[in-house]
Amino acid sequence: MIGAFEGIDGAHSQLALDAYFKARALTSASTLGTPSFRSAAVAVSAGRADVGIVPIDNAIAGTVRDGYDLLLEFDLVPIAEIVWRMDHRLLGVPGATLDGVREILAHPLVMAECGKFLASLPNARAVPCEDTGIAAREVARSGNAALAAIAPPSAAVRYELIELAPRVADHPENFTRFIVFRARGSSDPGYAVDESDGPRKTSLVLVTSNAPGSLARCLAVIAQAGISLAKLESKPTLGRPQQAEFYLDIDGDLLDPDHAGALAALRSAALDLRMIGSYRANAHVAVAAAAAAPHVPLSVIRDVLPKPPKSASSSSATPRAARDSRPHGTRVRVDGVEIGDGSFTIIAGPCSVESRQQVLETAFSVRDAGALMLRGGAFKPRTNPYAFQGLGWDGVGLLAEAGRATGLPTVSEVMSIDQVERMASQIDVLQIGARNMQNFDLLKAVGRTGKPVLLKRGLSASIEELIAAAEYVMSEGNPNVILCERGIRTFETATRNTLDLSAVPVLREKTHLPVIVDPSHGVGVRRWIAPMCRAAKASGAHGIIVEVHPNPPEALSDKDQALTFDDFRAIVAELERVPVFTGATPVEV
Ligand code: PEP
Ligand code: MN
């Protein structure tokens, strides 16, 4: 027996389904996680699962229309109702505190159930997450103390999280009603029969005309049959103002032959009656009885539940960066821009910020051409101490101003630990330059900021060393690392460095972090940048970073590789013709 639910292990639906199987001694039954309520319905319709589960309403948030609508749309047969107590707790990684939380991952329905609690945390914003289990898993994987999830205590045990706040739902008596269903025509899963002697409920959708008294006539039929109404909620009928629709739950089995007369009368009183079906009411009695149970501390639950299996990735030397710790890849969010989401992100701007006029002019030009982020160095790692060293904090201020003026998030290099905090307050992405890739204390310092980090590969660093450097940042609790291939030192002198594009598929296979390419520093010669931009996109990179200057011959640093505004526009146009690679890893076809 297989039961389909929305989410991954630890989701409330899965817990409810599991408990249901256990209560019926279906010990060999297993659960199948699917991406949505709809896909759970599809799995059952297509015979990939014997039963499925969807919520139909919650005591605080109200009707889950999707639940009723999917049962109707797929003509599924409801078997049983499970009234499940939603024990929502705020969970974080070990060491996290409630005060330190800035983002809370939660299923949108759960957010609605915990509105008062969420409003009591002014410094934290709620981020919708596809499922409760995923919310808990993502927090665990992030290792980030600023991230928390709303999930049940069993998810805390499974994902080794701690409780930051107990029972965070708006009311302790917070129940969701789930429906377990099967496909019509499928063989009876075998236990519906033993349900037959318990109390039953019937769900249906009733359509009435908007004329006065039409709903009352239908309700009178139900009253006369001596059965009570458990729920009545109107359902918007878009585009049909002359009729009204209602979700109805009735205590009793309206399909029972005893009620045949009532059902026929109801059908004739209504414009239309769409029967969802009748099912065993409140099938999971044990949980319902626990409604008034006191809050159970996590420490007690932890002792009772089996320990979670250790993930394979924990044996890796770089467990946080390893691909298997996040098989679907990481998206690094920088304001509205997401790197690693399957699109191709172009970052452009001058090598160095030289003046207000220069950075503003460049910022507007690259933005209008299609760049999504603005780069610009203020602290420059120059080989010669007498070369232009950057404008320092004045440059940071000018870059931030250009970012605000254009709406582009900004990227700038941070060279020392004492610059980190101030830079993090003004700039959106902290760049670690090639020369600092193994400056481990600096890596830890940017790790502690939680800000997105653009980590460049060292001049003579192996791919393994680049991943280990990323692990340094992540080990401090910052999962927001973007890797950058910018060329390495080889015996070749024709180009400034040797742009190792083969690092792209290798990195994407070995890690879940987004990978971008810097062809400017890779080849060092203006006219060779465009072909390598195209190659970078074709190789599966998530984006590029290039240097652009209003007047390259006058650039104070890296003038030979600075693109003109026209060059940049041409590159963006050419890149349009290179398809973006959408597989999870470039080696996956
Ligand atoms: C830069 O991006 O301006 C820079 C100095 O790059 P890298 O550290 O890759 O040399
Ligand atoms: Mn440069």
Looking up tokens 């690094």 gives 332
pLDDT at residue 586 in the model: 63
**500 alpha carbon – ligand 2 mean position (Å):** 18
**383 alpha carbon – ligand 2 mean position (Å):** 12
587 Cβ neighbours under 8 A, 6+ residues apart: 505, 508, 509
Distance from the Cα of residue 303 to its chain's centroid:
30
Which of 352, 410, 413 to mutate for ligand 1's pocket (most ligand atoms within 8 Å of CB)?
413
Alpha-carbon gap, residue 337 to 341, rounded angstroms: 9
Q: Which of 226-235, 516-525, 554-563 has the lowest mean pLDDT?
A: 226-235
Alpha-carbon gap, residue 437 to 451, rounded angstroms: 17
pLDDT at residue 383 in the model: 94
pLDDT at residue 289 in the model: 41
More confident residue, 1 or 220: 220
Q: Tell whether ligand 1 has an atom less than 6 A from the beta carbon of residue 351.
A: yes
| DSSP structure class, residue 35 | S
Work out the widest C-alpha separation in the chain, in whole angstroms: 97
pLDDT tens sequence across 449-489: 878 999 999 999 999 999 999 999 988 768 899 999 999 99
84 neighbors 284 (Cβ within 8 angstroms): yes
Q: Tell whether ligand 1 has an atom less than 6 A from the beta carbon of residue 546.
A: no
Residues with C-beta atoms within 5 A of ion ligand 2: 351, 558
Q: Which ligand is nearest to the CA of 380?
A: 1
Question: How deeply is 11 buried, as exposed, middle or buried, from its count of CB atoms within 10 A (0-12, 13-18, 19+)?
Answer: buried
Domain residue spans of the chain: 2-85+175-300, 89-165, 333-575
Closest approach atom of ligand 1 to CA 380? 5
125 has pLDDT over 50: yes
- What's the CATH number of domain 333-575, 3.20.20.70, 2.30.38.10, 1.10.1040.10, 3.40.50.300? 3.20.20.70
At residue 92 the predicted structure's pLDDT band, cuts being 50, 70 and 90, is very high
Q: Tell whether ligand 1 has an atom less than 6 A from the beta carbon of residue 456.
A: yes
133 neighbors 91 (Cβ within 8 angstroms): no
pLDDT tens sequence across 291-332: 445 667 777 766 665 554 444 344 689 999 999 888 778 888
Q: Which whole-number Å values give the CA distances from 401 to 200, 242, 394, in the listed order?
A: 66, 56, 11
Q: What is the CATH code of the structural domain delimited by 89-165?
A: 3.40.190.10
Whether the full predicted model's pTM is greater than 0.75, yes or no, is no
Looking up tokens 């982020």 gives 373
**Residue 183: CA atoms inside 13 Å, Cβ hemisphere, count?**
17
For the chain, helix, strand, coil in percent to 5 are: 35, 25, 40
Tokens of 532: 């390598």
| DSSP structure class, residue 540 | T
Distance from the Cα of residue 347 to its chain's centroid:
24
pLDDT at residue 283 in the model: 67
**455 alpha carbon – ligand 2 mean position (Å):** 14
> Which fold is adopted by the domain 2-85+175-300?
Alpha-Beta Plaits (3.30.70)
Torsion-angle region of 104 (φ positive above 0: left; ψ -120 to 50: alpha; else: beta): beta
